[in-house]
Amino acid sequence: MTITTESTLSQPSLPDEYTSIESEVRSYCRGWPTVMDTAQGSWVTDVDGRRYLDFFGGAGALNYGHNNPALKQALIDYLTSDKIVHSLDMATVAKTDFLRTFNDVILAPRKLDYKVQFPGPTGANAVESALKLARKVTGRESIINFTNAFHGMTLGALSVTGNSMKRAGAGIPLVHATPMPYDNYFDGVTEDFHWFERVLDDSGGGLNRPAAVIVETVQGEGGVNVARAEWLQALEQLCRKRDILLIVDDVQMGCGRTGPFFSFEEAGITPDIVTLSKSISGYGLPMALTLFRRDLDVWTPGEHNGTFRGHNPAFITATKALETYWQDSTFSDETLAKGTLMRDLMEKMAANRDGISARGRGMVQGLKFEDADLAGAVCKAAFERGLLAETSGPADEVVKLLPPLTTSEADLTAGLEVLDESISAALG
Amino acid sequence: MTITTESTLSQPSLPDEYTSIESEVRSYCRGWPTVMDTAQGSWVTDVDGRRYLDFFGGAGALNYGHNNPALKQALIDYLTSDKIVHSLDMATVAKTDFLRTFNDVILAPRKLDYKVQFPGPTGANAVESALKLARKVTGRESIINFTNAFHGMTLGALSVTGNSMKRAGAGIPLVHATPMPYDNYFDGVTEDFHWFERVLDDSGGGLNRPAAVIVETVQGEGGVNVARAEWLQALEQLCRKRDILLIVDDVQMGCGRTGPFFSFEEAGITPDIVTLSKSISGYGLPMALTLFRRDLDVWTPGEHNGTFRGHNPAFITATKALETYWQDSTFSDETLAKGTLMRDLMEKMAANRDGISARGRGMVQGLKFEDADLAGAVCKAAFERGLLAETSGPADEVVKLLPPLTTSEADLTAGLEVLDESISAALG
Amino acid sequence: MTITTESTLSQPSLPDEYTSIESEVRSYCRGWPTVMDTAQGSWVTDVDGRRYLDFFGGAGALNYGHNNPALKQALIDYLTSDKIVHSLDMATVAKTDFLRTFNDVILAPRKLDYKVQFPGPTGANAVESALKLARKVTGRESIINFTNAFHGMTLGALSVTGNSMKRAGAGIPLVHATPMPYDNYFDGVTEDFHWFERVLDDSGGGLNRPAAVIVETVQGEGGVNVARAEWLQALEQLCRKRDILLIVDDVQMGCGRTGPFFSFEEAGITPDIVTLSKSISGYGLPMALTLFRRDLDVWTPGEHNGTFRGHNPAFITATKALETYWQDSTFSDETLAKGTLMRDLMEKMAANRDGISARGRGMVQGLKFEDADLAGAVCKAAFERGLLAETSGPADEVVKLLPPLTTSEADLTAGLEVLDESISAALG
Amino acid sequence: MTITTESTLSQPSLPDEYTSIESEVRSYCRGWPTVMDTAQGSWVTDVDGRRYLDFFGGAGALNYGHNNPALKQALIDYLTSDKIVHSLDMATVAKTDFLRTFNDVILAPRKLDYKVQFPGPTGANAVESALKLARKVTGRESIINFTNAFHGMTLGALSVTGNSMKRAGAGIPLVHATPMPYDNYFDGVTEDFHWFERVLDDSGGGLNRPAAVIVETVQGEGGVNVARAEWLQALEQLCRKRDILLIVDDVQMGCGRTGPFFSFEEAGITPDIVTLSKSISGYGLPMALTLFRRDLDVWTPGEHNGTFRGHNPAFITATKALETYWQDSTFSDETLAKGTLMRDLMEKMAANRDGISARGRGMVQGLKFEDADLAGAVCKAAFERGLLAETSGPADEVVKLLPPLTTSEADLTAGLEVLDESISAALG
């Protein structure tokens, strides 16, 4: 089966502008060399009419699907009536509504007594402000990150990111973070936090005392590595005991990706600082939040600022998304059910072949290939069959699936069938 | 005269959400404590119907005014027809059109053989990528910045920013940049680049050899400090002779603020790297570009990436803005004329009083107060009279005006009358 | 028994100069508050005639005892005949003789094809030059050190030192080194280099690629932690496979402390770079060497220099010490035998009591106390009984013994008896 | 005239050990390729009996000449009677005597209420401890150094050193210091501290607030650059007003080189911290001191330590030197008179030729050559004629003279005649 039925179409290709004008740094348009035109829900259509089922999901920014109709109408209404679009961090009706709704629908029911910062429109802005705040509060400079972490491309965020190619891009030594092994880094052989706790408590250990630990509950870019609830709980305890702040970077795993709104809810932990972005606007519009314990709000007015902190169209769609999907547990329950469906089908794909294993939580799922090159070949074969999926992991050895949470069970099943075919094709 | 005629209205105030939920880091809503609702052109209206003439201009992000009608229609059409909104850096119709238009309307006519990078949606993203690239190309780590520079809040951008309060927010030492005196820093007494050139050429000078110099042609946040064309030319020569890259940060002064599209055109220089953001989308939507000489395009695919690099709605309004305003020199000429009008009126205000001087270029104009506190008092008085204007400079001693370039001469004149009244009020 | 028989003497005390003029940074004169006057072999006499058996051994600088007669005569002859004393790094007769003797007696018989650098007179100078050279050769900046390492107090050496109090003294973040667990850090539970190897080989591990590993074969200051030969061999293999330089800091453990001249000989490894100081002059005179593989000698003339590189009196005693002790294996064999004697007696002390364990190699031996405070109490009691011994380890929980290698078996036995009494006294 | 009369001697040369065993980093033995044997006062004799008049003076370590007889006898007596040689920082008779004498002869008469630290035996140790202390006291990290400064080769000291070749040797970015122009850097054109004061006081200047300024009163390695008394006074005022610590590095210029014991006495300033080394022992033995205001003595015991802090033979010769030369102003007056003699003769040499100028203070004097290569040629010609003198300055353009202060007027005159001949020879 292929999703795109128009088999008579020419090969997809890119216009000259991409090679003659755009920088060599471009990436996704290399693996998917076609020009996208329209999009709705889980489907994207290119200029030649080819349709793609999108299991890439804007790298986590499209949890409610492309151009979600409920959000779209609110957005168009806002723009049409000349409501204010750009306002830095002035007060606006859209911002007031968002703050109130975010508090009423998300924070209050979860008893999270957080203040909300608008740190700029990207996840990296949120991470930068989280690190700044942790350093300001503690007066310490060092941060603990984890193997295969991904937190962004600006210098502060990059310093806590693991990928060696991206780190090298900094052009200066990234020196204020020390990596520790993520959960299950040693395949269960070594006790949790053995090294981290020991070196922290050893006055001769040579580890600069950290201001904070920054962690993803599931490492998406790192290869769909899932931290167990008990590991996260132990990490929270470790931080509490030693007066180290715990930052959960929920940029990719928040907003329902693993089921609950925050990915750390399942573990029952309460981070000191939380970063959100990607799907927080609900419509793929740039927006980010930094949340932190009320008593950590030691910012001076304007100490961290930015031109696009107050992106009102994003507030509008964000508010609408919260109202539409998060008033009760229906959406969250459906995500968990769909996640189980995905995992079952993927376990089957893995069980039928050697060298493949399934991994994930909620609707972030992955297939890890012992032969790393296969993962890329599978994604290429999937694209040819109308399915968008990307690789992740340090050797690009994992096919990572982040379909919109709104994807129907039928589409999930169809897409996974294409994936199965693509694996067979890649295996030759 | 006050712009807002509804003098019977209650005092403006802020809802609880801003104190109970939003972080103490908020800033503009403190000086302008009212909730903005709608906006059109150079005017903003709050929830109580008060109208404000906007000489703040989104800190440079609203060069074409709020909700510019030509751009608005294109944006709504795009959204209505379910064109793809979020696409990371895939190829899209909107992106292709933008690349072609930007090349045809801006780069080619100016004989600028630049490649274009989409570094993420903010000016800080553009600055971070510019610094990374300069370091990668040269293999050096040190950057030269200038006194009172402002380049952004992420760690890389912050390291080249002058403001001591914002620098302290980093929480780690910002060490890879060395400040040099900006043009006229010594009030004309000292020869240009005296210190910089001498220490660069002295093998015992102790200055780490820089990868690049980053400069604003007019320092907006720094207090509307204007670099002379001959200073910029000398800086370009200095960099050329010593194989140092010249980065012009045109985030605030680009897109026509000083008249021509790029603020460096007047000086006839050709930077190696240019950053653009703020008004590049034309509609206040988050978007940024990094431009650089073709031979500097040594990026590895994906070496710098980000979720919101491909903000298609911003591409749509950006393309429309280029088509509407930059096909010929009309818009640029009008800006220069309006700038002259502004400057003449402001020189008069200064001439009539002691301790005030006018400064600026094109439509970025400022009044510097010897008694720094007066500048804040003037802005407060202006707000009460329906005019939005903010202070800048290291001691907040400058009233900075960045009205939309599309502001009518009548509104410019009216706004400056309010400013004149506000000064009188502040002087008591 | 007490060594000092003059029991009628007053309590030892310090003159005013030490509190009124010398800085608070002073340390040893606090624990041993008396004024030393003369010294011979393993014995020191204070101004009141009290005699002390010296098991502290100049922290490893007095392997041949105080004022060794064979060396003393050569030194006095040199000074008397007005041979040149200070010469920076000019050629001198004393230096030529040292270079030839060091090569003939030490390097050539061990087939070590090293070049010799005179980096300045202290161990820290040697470590600084070793780190510089490793960085220059590899073009990398990061260094791997080990938990509880001690390498010196200058900024480069301090950055690879573990002690948190001393690190804090730097006043700037020490950021270019990452600590790894030393041998047996986890009491044998975890496989060797589990974490180090895994994170090195993981392109997403987030560890900056190291230029070098710096290691002590026995950590003296760190608490007499002994690395096993097989651990050192595995470390050498790990470095070889990944093109990382191996630096052995033999400042305290070299010059015969563990038996052979170099402490790494037992393990059969060949470091890329070796640092020597402390006992290299043989007479307690400041002197240090940096040794490295011939092909690593990429220094530019004068790239690392210093006023006291050419301390000729130290060359004289150093040469004499090599001629006297290292022409054959007699001295080395005796050290091993005395080390066994020490260890046997110390194992007995430990066996008779709870909470004490013995550790060490050759003539560096220690007793570790589970109750860390006891170690200090034992050293205090020992001083009162005429024995000099100091504590080490992150909690000062280890009594460390570094007697001169020339100490007689009778004195070793007598001193250990005093130690045994001191333990009993401390235990109450 | 040549000093060495044995004109029939073969050419000087170096034994194989220097090329086959010693590292390429060696330097002085390259320019003076002969093996030195004995030395007395201002004269050195090589193994072939050639005599050299030493105007190099151990780079400032031999202010009292080679093997000064008064000091020599005290040293030999100490060693002969088995007084303790090595003692870390225990109290010893030699140390007590030194502390008392240094206080009585140097500090008290000058009303300098300093504490004394023994930071290790080299000038770099003193600088490292001075920087640590300044950072600890102020809680700030940044240091201001000056163009063409030289403070040492360890990482902390190197970070405040100007020489680009030596800085590059660090292998990591040296980032915590910012250079400012030394006195007369702009040949008198620019007002003193114009840039430094302005950028310090500008909250937008981008200069990290410094903990301390480190300065040499005369830059020896930097090219015999002499700071005027009024410049030093203004620097002290600048530091006082802004609560920045003033460190005078008197390692090379202290101990009488410029006349008074401390080189800063002439200017009448009182530094917060002073470093001494080189000639403090008086005999070329490794020794250094860090002096600081009593209230800055916030060190924790052992926070900065080192094996060779307590080099008793150096204390003995240091005490003897203080007693011999510093009880009254005779020695100081003689130095000033000899300095005048030197300067007069050197001014004549310069006056007779184009492109040469004289510079210096007390008995550090230099000739600067507009054609930098000439300086090296002059030193080479001088060596061939039996005179030792080295070049300094960023381009090695200055012939620097540091003869022992004890050099007779006859020898000074004779040596300067040789220098005059050497210039003529070099000029061809």
Q: Which positions in chain D touch C166 (Cβ < 8 Å)?
A: 302-305
Mutation site, B178, B308, B309, interface A, largest A CB count within 10 A: B308
Q: Give the pLDDT band of residue D401 (cuts 50, 70, 90).
A: very high
Which member of B145, B204, B208 has the closest CB to residue D394?
B204
Residues C216-255: pLDDT tens digits? 999 999 999 999 999 999 999 999 999 999 999 999 999 9
CA of C250, closest CA in chain A: separation in Å? 19
Q: Which two tokens stand for residue A108?
A: 């209050």
Nearest chain D residue to C128 by CA distance is D154
- Tell me if B132 and A171 make a contact (CB, 8 A cut-off): yes
The mean pLDDT value of chain C amounts to: 95
Report the distance separating Cα A140 and Cα A134, nearest Å.
Answer: 8
Nearest to B84 by CA among A285, A15, A276, A80: A285
Nearest to A424 by CA among A361, A377, A366, A370: A377
Nearest chain C residue to A143 by CA distance is C175
Contact A250, A266 (CB under 8 A): no
- Tell me if C148 and A186 make a contact (CB, 8 A cut-off): no
Tell me what pLDDT residue B8 has.
52
Residues B25-59: pLDDT tens digits? 999 999 999 999 999 999 999 999 999 999 999 99
Q: Which positions in chain D touch C121 (Cβ < 8 Å)?
A: 121-122, 286, 308
Nearest to A196 by CA among A246, A158, A146: A146
Nearest chain A residue to C158 by CA distance is A206
Residues B307-350: pLDDT tens digits? 999 999 999 999 999 999 999 999 999 999 999 999 999 999 99
Q: How far is CA D313 from CA B202, C59, C128, C278, D167, in A?
A: 41, 18, 26, 16, 33
Q: Which positions in chain A touch B85 (Cβ < 8 Å)?
A: 39, 66-67, 283-285
* For range A36-63, the mean pLDDT: 98
Handedness of CA C197, C198, C199, C204 (dihedral sign): positive
Contact D201, D246 (CB under 8 A): no
Tell me what pLDDT residue A112 has.
98
Q: Which positions in chain D touch B160 (Cβ < 8 Å)?
A: 206
Comparison of pLDDT for C20 and B352, the residue scoring more: C20
Report the distance separating Cα B99 and Cα B91, nearest Å.
Answer: 11
Tell me what pLDDT residue D190 has.
66
Mutation site, D180, D191, D207, D214, interface B, largest B CB count within 10 A: D207
Nearest chain D residue to B159 by CA distance is D206
Secondary structure of residue B328 in the 3-state scheme? coil
Q: What is the DSSP letter of D10?
A: P
Report the distance separating Cα D55 and Cα D62, nearest Å.
Answer: 10
CA of C156, closest CA in chain A: separation in Å? 14
Starting at the edge strand found earlier in the chain, the sheet holding D273-276 runs D114-117, D289-293, D273-276, D245-249, D210-215, D142-146, D177-180
CA of D150, closest CA in chain C: separation in Å? 11
Q: Which positions in chain A touch B154 (Cβ < 8 Å)?
A: 124-125, 128, 154-157
- Tell me if D181 and B195 make a contact (CB, 8 A cut-off): yes
Chain C residues touching chain A at CB-CB below 8 Å: 141-142, 145-149, 160-165, 167, 173-179, 181, 185-186, 189-191, 194-195, 198-199, 202-209, 222-223, 393-395
Mutation site, C199, C213, C368, interface A, largest A CB count within 10 A: C199
Report the distance separating Cα B22 and Cα B32, nearest Å.
Answer: 16
Residues D342-364: pLDDT tens digits? 999 999 999 989 999 999 999 99
Report the distance separating Cα D366 and Cα D350, nearest Å.
Answer: 11
User: Can you give the C-alpha Rg of chain B in angstroms?
Assistant: 21
Nearest chain A residue to D139 by CA distance is A139
Tell me what pLDDT residue C12 has.
86
Kind and range of the H or E run holding D359:
strand D356-361
Task: Please give the CATH topology (third level) of the domain spanning B17-67+330-427.
Answer: Aspartate Aminotransferase, domain 1 (3.90.1150)
Nearest chain C residue to D301 by CA distance is C25
Residues C175-213: pLDDT tens digits? 899 999 999 998 776 667 888 999 999 999 999 999 999
Contact D383, D374 (CB under 8 A): no
ipTM for the assembly: 0.97
Q: Give the pLDDT band of residue D189 (cuts 50, 70, 90).
A: low
Nearest to C226 by CA among C342, C368, C353: C368
Of B196-200, C57-61, D405-409, least confident by mean pLDDT is B196-200
To which residue do tokens 């502060």 refer?
A156
CA of A314, closest CA in chain B: separation in Å? 10
Handedness of CA A400, A121, A213, B142 (dihedral sign): positive
Secondary structure of residue A290 in the 3-state scheme? strand
Task: Please give the CATH topology (third level) of the domain spanning B71-325.
Answer: Aspartate Aminotransferase; domain 2 (3.40.640)
CA of D19, closest CA in chain A: separation in Å? 36
Contact C85, D283 (CB under 8 A): yes
Contact C335, C362 (CB under 8 A): yes
Backbone torsions φ then ψ of A69, nearest 5 degrees: -60, -40
Report the distance separating Cα B396 and Cα B223, nearest Å.
Answer: 8
Q: Is the pLDDT of residue C308 over 60?
A: yes
| Percent of chain A clearing pLDDT 70 (strictly above) | 97
Q: How many CB pairs under 8 A join A and D?
A: 3
Q: Which positions in chain B touch D223 (Cβ < 8 Å)?
A: 204
Q: Which positions in chain C touch A199 (Cβ < 8 Å)?
A: 147, 179, 181
CA of A258, closest CA in chain D: separation in Å? 43
Q: Which positions in chain A touch D141 (Cβ < 8 Å)?
A: none
- The distance from CA D274 to its chain's CA centroid, rounded to whole angstroms, is 13
Q: Which two tokens stand for residue C240?
A: 């070889």
Q: What is the DSSP letter of B103?
A: I
CA of B224, closest CA in chain D: separation in Å? 13
For residue B409, how many other CB atoms are within 10 A of its CB?
Answer: 12
Residues D224-264: pLDDT tens digits? 999 999 999 999 999 999 999 999 999 999 999 999 999 99
* For range A367-384, the mean pLDDT: 98
Tell me what pLDDT residue C187 has.
76
Q: How far is CA D340 from CA A233, D335, D401, in A?
A: 77, 9, 13
Mutation site, C135, C144, C145, C147, interface A, largest A CB count within 10 A: C147
Which member of C206, C222, C223 has the closest CB to residue A145?
C206
Q: What is the DSSP letter of B278?
A: G
- Tell me if B172 and C172 make a contact (CB, 8 A cut-off): no
Chain D residues touching chain A at CB-CB below 8 Å: 172-173
CA of C115, closest CA in chain B: separation in Å? 30
Residues D405-417: pLDDT tens digits? 999 999 999 999 9
Nearest to D72 by CA among C310, C285, C85, C315: C85
For residue B424, how many other CB atoms are within 10 A of its CB?
Answer: 14
Q: What angle do CA B26, B32, B38 make, to 5 degrees?
A: 100
Where in the sequence of chain C do the CATH 3.90.1150.10 domains occur? 17-67+330-427
The mean pLDDT value of chain A amounts to: 95
How are beta strands D35-40 and D43-46 bridged, if at all? antiparallel
Q: Which chains form contacts with chain A, at 3 or more CB pairs under 8 Å?
A: B, C, D
DSSP string for residues in C279-334: GGSSSS----EEEEEGGG--PPTTSS--TTS-BHHHHHHHHHHHHHHSSSSHHHHH
Contact D18, C99 (CB under 8 A): yes
Q: Is the pLDDT of residue C9 over 60?
A: no
CA of B173, closest CA in chain C: separation in Å? 9
Contact A136, B169 (CB under 8 A): yes
Q: Which positions in chain C touch B172 (Cβ < 8 Å)?
A: 173
Nearest to A148 by CA among A185, A95, A105: A185
- Tell me the residue length of chain C: 428
Tell me what pLDDT residue B250 has.
98
Nearest chain B residue to A138 by CA distance is B171
**Amino acid occupying residue C92:** T
Residue B111's region, left for phi above 0, alpha for psi from -120 to 50, else beta, is: left
Q: Which two tokens stand for residue D223?
A: 């090219």
Tell me what pLDDT residue C192 has.
75
Residues C310-321: pLDDT tens digits? 999 999 999 999
Q: Is the pLDDT of residue D281 over 70?
A: yes
Q: Which chains form contacts with chain D, at 3 or more CB pairs under 8 Å?
A: A, B, C
Residue B328's region, left for phi above 0, alpha for psi from -120 to 50, else beta, is: beta
Residues C271-296: pLDDT tens digits? 999 999 999 999 999 999 999 999 99
Tell me what pLDDT residue B50 has.
97
Q: Is the pLDDT of residue D141 over 90?
A: yes
Q: Is the pLDDT of residue D2 over 60?
A: no
Q: Which positions in chain A touch C202 (Cβ < 8 Å)?
A: 147-148, 162, 394
Where in the sequence of chain B do the CATH 3.40.640.10 domains occur? 71-325
Q: Which positions in chain B touch A62 (Cβ < 8 Å)?
A: 86
Q: Is the pLDDT of residue D4 over 80?
A: no
CA of B176, closest CA in chain C: separation in Å? 14
CA of C189, closest CA in chain D: separation in Å? 34
Mutation site, B25, B54, B245, interface A, largest A CB count within 10 A: B25
Secondary structure of residue B334 in the 3-state scheme? helix
Mutation site, C87, C141, C291, interface D, largest D CB count within 10 A: C87
Q: How far is CA B179 from CA B149, B210, B245, D180, in A?
A: 9, 11, 16, 11
CA of C397, closest CA in chain A: separation in Å? 12
Tell me what pLDDT residue A186 has.
84
Tell me what pLDDT residue A105 has.
98
Nearest to D121 by CA among C166, C204, C125: C125
- Tell me if D79 and C72 make a contact (CB, 8 A cut-off): yes
Q: Which positions in chain B touch C173 (Cβ < 8 Å)?
A: 172-173
Contact C365, C346 (CB under 8 A): yes
Nearest to A179 by CA among A217, A206, A146: A146
Tell me what pLDDT residue B67 has.
98
Strand runs (DSSP E) across A372-420, as ranges? 387-388, 390-392, 398-401
Helix axes A409-427, A330-351, angle to 10 degrees: 20
Nearest to A217 by CA among A286, A278, A264: A264
